[in-house]
Amino acid sequence: MFLPENIDLAHSEKYRLSIRLSPDGFSFYFYSPADPDIFHFQRTNLSNKLTYSENIKKIIFDQGFFTYPFNKTTVVIVSPNYTLVPKQFFDARKSKDIIDFNFHDLNGMSLHDSSESEKYSVVYNMDEGVHSFLSRHLSNPDFKHHTSPLLNFFNTYENKKGHKQCFADFHDGYVSMFCYVEERLQSAVTFPANNKPDTTYYIASVWEKLLMDQTKDSLYLCGEIDSHLTVVNDLKRLINNVERVELKPKANLTVEQTQILPTDVITALCV
């Protein structure tokens, strides 16, 4: 893997490493909080000749720098299998019970992380073998769900008093959708976005079930929007206020990077 000249891993403690595991891909980025010009993102496709776990192990072993002691190491899990629990009601000992109640026949282990706003705990599922391997070979990794940075960002995004707003993030063959009344979260769900008519129907159904106003309330879009223009155009015929989310990361990203980076990566760089 190619790394730019301005990243010197002989001083790995200066950088933050974030690994992102999606159902069919592996990506990572380096970032320096002290220097916004230092940012590097790479994506790697997984081999269909290897199992998911074997793919992850091969990438980590082939590129020895992942095991270095970084300023911070984070592993982000992209998965539709999660549940949000208000922080005041959450008991970490019951994470597996929560996952088993909401999802059936899931293999793996139950994890949880708290958004920085500490309003919710995100309970989610992860392959146990991959978790064990990364825990052993990375330097004190912090495991996060992909919704956590999104929730932190959307929670305070241009709240309009008395209005409702929904955020739809297109990513990894999914849409992650979050709906609010001012700062109060009403709904959070991730569903497949492989079929355009179904995707439009699911988004419109969430909008309808939450009794959102087609003329006053707002739908904000982000992520892989250009790949879903048919869906976007259909939504614009249904809803008056459809806008793109404005993202202002602290890292100095190129125009191309802002177009290809997953939204959860960019929102993590906004704090």
Residue 155: pLDDT over 90:
no
CA distances to 33, 45, 221, 224, 227 from 166, in Å: 30, 31, 9, 17, 20
Going from N- to C-terminal start, the domains of the chain cover: 1-145, 158-244
The two tokens of residue 141 are: 């990794």
**Averaged over 140-160, what is the pLDDT?**
90
Strands (E), the chain: 16-22, 25-32, 35-45, 72-77, 82-86, 109-114, 120-126, 142-145, 164-171, 174-181, 184-192, 218-223, 241-244
Q: What is the pLDDT of residue 76?
A: 98
- Write out pLDDT tens, residues 161-179: 678 999 999 999 999 999 9
Stated pTM of the model:
0.94
Q: What is the pLDDT of residue 115?
A: 65
CB 45 within 8 A of CB 25: yes
- Write out pLDDT tens, residues 43-81: 988 999 999 999 999 999 999 999 999 999 999 999 999
CB 134 within 8 A of CB 141: yes
Tell me if 1-145 shares its fold with 158-244: yes
CA distances to 21, 22, 55, 135, 225 from 52, in Å: 10, 10, 5, 16, 28
Q: What is the pLDDT of residue 82?
A: 95
Q: What is the pLDDT of residue 254?
A: 93
What is the spatial distance between Cα 66 and Cα 188, in angstroms, rounded to a whole number?
32
Q: Among positive and negative, which fits the CA dihedral 160, 165, 170, 176?
A: positive
Q: Which fold has domain 1-145?
A: Nucleotidyltransferase; domain 5 (3.30.420)
Q: What is the pLDDT of residue 178?
A: 96
- Write out pLDDT tens, residues 83-112: 999 988 999 999 999 999 999 888 899 999
Average pLDDT, the chain: 93
Among 2.30.30.50, 2.60.40.10, 3.30.420.260, 3.30.499.10, what is the CATH number of 158-244?
3.30.420.260
Backbone angles phi, psi at 59, to 5 degrees: -60, -45
Question: Facing residues of 44 across strands?
Answer: 26
